[in-house]
Protein backbone atom coordinates (compact mmCIF):
# COMPACT_ATOMS: atom_id res chain seq x y z
CA UNK A 1 0.00 0.00 0.00
CA UNK A 2 1.24 3.47 -0.74
CA UNK A 3 0.01 6.22 1.55
CA UNK A 4 0.07 9.94 1.10
CA UNK A 5 3.34 11.79 1.73
CA UNK A 6 1.57 14.45 3.76
CA UNK A 7 3.63 16.11 6.48
CA UNK A 8 0.71 15.80 8.88
CA UNK A 9 1.56 13.30 11.64
CA UNK A 10 -0.50 10.19 12.27
CA UNK A 11 -1.87 10.22 15.83
CA UNK A 12 -1.78 6.92 17.68
CA UNK A 13 -2.26 5.74 21.25
CA UNK A 14 0.98 3.92 22.14
CA UNK A 15 1.59 2.06 25.38
CA UNK A 16 4.83 0.23 24.65
CA UNK A 17 2.82 -2.99 24.42
CA UNK A 18 3.07 -5.50 21.58
CA UNK A 19 -0.05 -4.55 19.59
CA UNK A 20 0.46 -0.79 19.58
CA UNK A 21 4.20 -1.18 18.90
CA UNK A 22 3.41 -3.47 15.98
CA UNK A 23 1.18 -0.76 14.56
CA UNK A 24 3.87 1.91 15.01
CA UNK A 25 6.25 -0.32 13.03
CA UNK A 26 3.61 -0.98 10.39
CA UNK A 27 3.06 2.75 9.92
CA UNK A 28 6.82 3.24 9.56
CA UNK A 29 6.78 0.51 6.92
CA UNK A 30 3.70 1.62 4.99
CA UNK A 31 3.88 5.42 5.10
CA UNK A 32 6.36 8.27 4.90
CA UNK A 33 4.52 10.37 7.44
CA UNK A 34 5.59 11.42 10.94
CA UNK A 35 4.03 9.47 13.80
CA UNK A 36 2.70 11.26 16.87
CA UNK A 37 2.32 8.86 19.79
CA UNK A 38 -0.03 9.70 22.66
CA UNK A 39 0.00 8.21 26.15
CA UNK A 40 -2.26 8.78 29.16
CA UNK A 41 -0.49 8.88 32.53
CA UNK A 42 -2.78 7.19 35.04
CA UNK A 43 -1.63 7.37 38.69
CA UNK A 44 -3.62 4.19 39.34
CA UNK A 45 -1.60 2.26 36.76
CA UNK A 46 1.57 0.87 38.32
CA UNK A 47 3.07 0.13 34.90
CA UNK A 48 3.08 3.74 33.66
CA UNK A 49 6.75 4.39 34.44
CA UNK A 50 7.85 1.14 32.82
CA UNK A 51 5.71 1.77 29.74
CA UNK A 52 7.13 5.26 29.15
CA UNK A 53 10.68 3.95 29.56
CA UNK A 54 9.90 1.07 27.17
CA UNK A 55 8.62 3.45 24.48
CA UNK A 56 11.81 5.50 24.74
CA UNK A 57 13.94 2.37 24.41
CA UNK A 58 11.95 1.08 21.44
CA UNK A 59 12.10 4.47 19.71
CA UNK A 60 15.90 4.41 19.99
CA UNK A 61 16.05 0.80 18.82
CA UNK A 62 13.91 1.54 15.76
CA UNK A 63 16.39 4.22 14.69
CA UNK A 64 19.49 2.15 15.51
CA UNK A 65 18.15 -0.91 13.67
CA UNK A 66 17.13 1.07 10.59
CA UNK A 67 13.35 0.91 10.93
CA UNK A 68 12.93 4.67 11.39
CA UNK A 69 14.77 7.86 10.52
CA UNK A 70 15.66 10.25 13.32
CA UNK A 71 12.67 12.49 14.05
CA UNK A 72 10.16 10.26 12.28
CA UNK A 73 8.58 9.32 15.60
CA UNK A 74 7.75 12.59 17.29
CA UNK A 75 8.24 13.10 21.06
CA UNK A 76 5.65 11.28 23.14
CA UNK A 77 2.64 13.49 23.89
CA UNK A 78 1.41 12.70 27.39
CA UNK A 79 -1.99 13.41 28.91
CA UNK A 80 -2.87 13.32 32.59
CA UNK A 81 -5.88 11.15 33.29
CA UNK A 82 -6.90 13.33 36.21
CA UNK A 83 -7.09 16.36 33.86
CA UNK A 84 -9.48 14.77 31.35
CA UNK A 85 -12.81 16.64 31.56
CA UNK A 86 -15.80 14.54 32.48
CA UNK A 87 -18.45 14.05 29.80
CA UNK A 88 -21.90 12.92 30.91
CA UNK A 89 -22.95 11.66 27.47
CA UNK A 90 -19.91 9.38 27.21
CA UNK A 91 -20.36 8.23 30.80
CA UNK A 92 -24.01 7.28 30.16
CA UNK A 93 -23.08 5.39 26.98
CA UNK A 94 -20.34 3.49 28.80
CA UNK A 95 -22.68 2.50 31.63
CA UNK A 96 -25.25 1.26 29.10
CA UNK A 97 -22.68 -0.90 27.30
CA UNK A 98 -21.56 -2.29 30.66
CA UNK A 99 -25.06 -3.69 31.17
CA UNK A 100 -24.32 -6.40 28.61
CA UNK A 101 -20.51 -6.41 28.20
CA UNK A 102 -17.62 -6.13 30.62
CA UNK A 103 -15.27 -3.61 29.06
CA UNK A 104 -12.26 -1.78 30.44
CA UNK A 105 -12.85 1.54 32.19
CA UNK A 106 -10.09 3.06 30.04
CA UNK A 107 -12.49 3.17 27.08
CA UNK A 108 -14.62 5.65 28.99
CA UNK A 109 -11.92 8.20 29.77
CA UNK A 110 -10.08 7.69 26.48
CA UNK A 111 -13.28 8.65 24.66
CA UNK A 112 -13.55 11.74 26.87
CA UNK A 113 -9.96 12.66 26.02
CA UNK A 114 -10.48 12.20 22.28
CA UNK A 115 -13.55 14.44 22.38
CA UNK A 116 -11.95 17.10 24.57
CA UNK A 117 -8.72 17.28 22.55
CA UNK A 118 -10.34 16.93 19.11
CA UNK A 119 -8.31 13.79 18.31
CA UNK A 120 -10.75 12.53 15.69
CA UNK A 121 -9.17 9.67 13.70
CA UNK A 122 -6.53 8.74 16.29
CA UNK A 123 -5.47 5.10 16.04
CA UNK A 124 -6.07 2.67 18.89
CA UNK A 125 -4.71 -0.88 18.99
CA UNK A 126 -7.82 -2.99 19.52
CA UNK A 127 -7.10 -6.43 18.04
CA UNK A 128 -9.58 -9.05 16.86
CA UNK A 129 -10.18 -11.35 19.82
CA UNK A 130 -9.90 -8.61 22.45
CA UNK A 131 -12.87 -8.50 24.83
CA UNK A 132 -13.92 -5.10 23.50
CA UNK A 133 -13.75 -6.33 19.88
CA UNK A 134 -16.96 -8.29 20.40
CA UNK A 135 -18.77 -5.02 21.17
CA UNK A 136 -17.48 -3.42 17.97
CA UNK A 137 -17.68 -6.31 15.50
CA UNK A 138 -21.20 -5.71 14.14
CA UNK A 139 -20.56 -1.98 13.70
CA UNK A 140 -17.19 -1.95 11.90
CA UNK A 141 -16.89 -0.54 8.40
CA UNK A 142 -13.93 -0.38 6.05
CA UNK A 143 -12.52 3.12 5.85
CA UNK A 144 -9.58 5.08 4.56
CA UNK A 145 -8.03 7.79 6.70
CA UNK A 146 -5.46 9.96 4.95
CA UNK A 147 -4.54 7.15 2.57
CA UNK A 148 -4.34 4.39 5.18
CA UNK A 149 -6.90 1.57 4.96
CA UNK A 150 -8.43 0.94 8.37
CA UNK A 151 -11.68 0.15 10.17
CA UNK A 152 -13.99 2.63 11.84
CA UNK A 153 -17.25 2.34 13.77
CA UNK A 154 -20.53 3.38 12.18
CA UNK A 155 -21.69 6.81 13.28
CA UNK A 156 -25.25 5.60 13.89
CA UNK A 157 -24.49 2.70 16.25
CA UNK A 158 -25.88 4.36 19.37
CA UNK A 159 -23.82 4.02 22.53
CA UNK A 160 -21.05 2.18 20.66
CA UNK A 161 -20.66 5.18 18.36
CA UNK A 162 -20.52 7.58 21.30
CA UNK A 163 -17.44 5.77 22.62
CA UNK A 164 -15.72 4.50 19.48
CA UNK A 165 -16.80 6.35 16.32
CA UNK A 166 -13.88 8.79 16.48
CA UNK A 167 -11.13 6.16 16.35
CA UNK A 168 -9.20 4.54 13.54
CA UNK A 169 -9.13 0.79 14.30
CA UNK A 170 -6.62 -0.76 11.85
CA UNK A 171 -6.20 -4.02 13.81
CA UNK A 172 -9.84 -4.66 14.74
CA UNK A 173 -10.32 -7.46 12.19
CA UNK A 174 -6.80 -8.85 12.40
CA UNK A 175 -5.97 -11.47 15.01
CA UNK A 176 -2.77 -12.07 17.01
CA UNK A 177 -1.64 -15.01 14.85
CA UNK A 178 -1.90 -12.93 11.68
CA UNK A 179 0.02 -10.04 13.25
CA UNK A 180 2.77 -12.28 14.60
CA UNK A 181 3.14 -14.00 11.24
CA UNK A 182 3.53 -10.64 9.51
CA UNK A 183 6.02 -9.43 12.13
CA UNK A 184 8.12 -12.56 11.65
CA UNK A 185 8.08 -12.27 7.84
CA UNK A 186 9.18 -8.62 7.99
CA UNK A 187 11.93 -9.18 10.55
CA UNK A 188 10.38 -7.11 13.35
CA UNK A 189 11.17 -9.56 16.13
CA UNK A 190 13.94 -7.46 17.71
CA UNK A 191 11.99 -4.29 18.56
CA UNK A 192 8.84 -6.24 19.43
CA UNK A 193 10.79 -8.34 21.94
CA UNK A 194 11.41 -5.11 23.87
CA UNK A 195 7.69 -4.41 24.42
CA UNK A 196 6.13 -4.45 27.90
CA UNK A 197 3.01 -6.28 28.96
CA UNK A 198 2.64 -6.50 32.76
CA UNK A 199 -0.06 -4.34 34.39
CA UNK A 200 1.37 -4.50 37.92
CA UNK A 201 5.18 -4.86 37.66
CA UNK A 202 7.10 -5.68 40.81
CA UNK A 203 9.18 -2.69 41.93
CA UNK A 204 7.93 -1.03 38.75
CA UNK A 205 10.21 -3.25 36.64
CA UNK A 206 9.71 -7.02 36.89
CA UNK A 207 6.63 -8.83 35.43
CA UNK A 208 4.32 -9.91 38.25
CA UNK A 209 3.26 -13.26 36.78
CA UNK A 210 -0.35 -12.94 37.95
CA UNK A 211 -2.01 -10.19 35.87
CA UNK A 212 -3.86 -11.26 32.73
CA UNK A 213 -1.12 -10.17 30.25
CA UNK A 214 1.52 -12.07 32.26
CA UNK A 215 -0.63 -15.18 32.30
CA UNK A 216 -1.17 -14.93 28.54
CA UNK A 217 2.60 -14.61 28.01
CA UNK A 218 3.25 -17.67 30.17
CA UNK A 219 0.72 -19.67 28.20
CA UNK A 220 1.94 -18.50 24.78
CA UNK A 221 4.49 -20.70 23.06
CA UNK A 222 7.98 -19.22 23.13
CA UNK A 223 7.05 -16.18 25.27
CA UNK A 224 7.19 -17.53 28.83
CA UNK A 225 10.86 -16.59 29.31
CA UNK A 226 9.95 -12.90 29.07
CA UNK A 227 8.05 -13.15 32.37
CA UNK A 228 11.24 -13.99 34.27
CA UNK A 229 11.78 -16.20 37.32
CA UNK A 230 9.98 -13.88 39.75
CA UNK A 231 6.85 -13.84 37.63
CA UNK A 232 6.93 -17.59 37.06
CA UNK A 233 7.27 -18.25 40.78
CA UNK A 234 4.33 -15.97 41.62
CA UNK A 235 2.27 -17.59 38.85
CA UNK A 236 2.66 -21.06 40.38
CA UNK A 237 2.29 -19.90 43.99
CA UNK A 238 -0.61 -17.46 43.50
CA UNK A 239 -2.34 -17.70 40.12
CA UNK A 240 -2.54 -21.48 39.72
CA UNK A 241 -4.10 -22.12 43.17
CA UNK A 242 -6.70 -19.39 42.54
CA UNK A 243 -7.75 -21.16 39.33
CA UNK A 244 -8.69 -24.27 41.34
CA UNK A 245 -11.22 -22.35 43.45
CA UNK A 246 -14.92 -21.92 42.59
CA UNK A 247 -15.44 -19.06 40.12
CA UNK A 248 -17.31 -16.86 42.59
CA UNK A 249 -14.50 -17.16 45.14
CA UNK A 250 -11.71 -16.62 42.60
CA UNK A 251 -13.53 -13.55 41.23
CA UNK A 252 -13.70 -11.98 44.70
CA UNK A 253 -10.01 -12.67 45.25
CA UNK A 254 -9.09 -11.05 41.93
CA UNK A 255 -11.23 -8.01 42.74
CA UNK A 256 -9.43 -7.69 46.06
CA UNK A 257 -6.05 -8.00 44.34
CA UNK A 258 -6.94 -5.27 41.85
CA UNK A 259 -8.15 -2.97 44.64
CA UNK A 260 -4.92 -3.43 46.60
CA UNK A 261 -2.83 -2.83 43.47
CA UNK A 262 -4.77 0.37 42.73
CA UNK A 263 -4.31 1.55 46.34
CA UNK A 264 -0.56 0.91 46.14
CA UNK A 265 -0.35 2.78 42.84
CA UNK A 266 -2.13 5.84 44.24
CA UNK A 267 0.16 5.81 47.29
CA UNK A 268 3.27 5.56 45.10
CA UNK A 269 1.99 8.36 42.81
Residue range 33-76, pLDDT digits in tens: 999 999 999 887 778 888 999 999 999 999 999 999 999 999 99
Distance from C-alpha of 39 to C-alpha of 52, rounded to nearest angstrom: 8
Show the beta-strand stretches assigned E in the chain.
10-13, 35-41, 77-80, 122-123, 140-145, 148-153, 167-168
53-88 CB burial, b ≥16 within 10 A, e <16 = ebbeebbeebeeeebbeeebbeeeeebebeebeebe
What is the structure's pLDDT at 257? 66
Q: Which residues pair with 144 in a beta bridge?
A: 149
Per-residue confidence at 252, pLDDT binned at 50, 70, 90? Answer: confident
CA angle 173/201/179 to nearest 5° reads 20
Q: What residues contact 194, with CB distance under 8 A and at least 6 apart?
A: 54, 57, 58, 61
Residue range 93-127, pLDDT digits in tens: 999 999 988 888 899 999 999 999 999 999 999 99
Q: Is 17's pLDDT higher than 50?
A: yes
What is the structure's pLDDT at 263? 59
Distance from C-alpha of 103 to C-alpha of 130, rounded to nearest angstrom: 10
Specify the range with the lowest mean pLDDT, choosing from 7-21, 75-89, 233-247.
233-247
If 0-12 CB within 10 Å is exposed, 13-18 middle and 19+ buried, where does residue 25 land?
Answer: buried
What is the structure's pLDDT at 259? 64
Number of neighbouring beta carbons within 10 Å of residue 192: 17
Residue range 206-235, pLDDT digits in tens: 888 888 888 888 887 777 888 888 989 998
Q: What residues contact 18, with CB distance under 8 A and at least 6 apart?
A: 192, 195, 197
What is the structure's pLDDT at 262? 56
> What is the model's pTM?
0.83
> Looking at per-residue confidence, does 9 or 258 come out higher?
9
Tally of residues, the chain:
269
Distance from C-alpha of 33 to C-alpha of 24, rounded to nearest angstrom: 11
What sign has the CA pseudo-torsion 189, 195, 199, 204?
A: positive
Distance from C-alpha of 202 to C-alpha of 209, rounded to nearest angstrom: 9
Amino acid sequence: MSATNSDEPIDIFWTGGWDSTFRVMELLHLTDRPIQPHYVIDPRRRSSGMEILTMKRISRALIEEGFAETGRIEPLMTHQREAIPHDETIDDAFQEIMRSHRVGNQYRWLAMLVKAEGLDGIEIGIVQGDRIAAVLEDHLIESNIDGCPTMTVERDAGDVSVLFAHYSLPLARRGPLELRKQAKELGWKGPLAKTCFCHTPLSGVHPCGTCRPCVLMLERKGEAKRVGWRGKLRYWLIERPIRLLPKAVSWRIRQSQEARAAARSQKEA
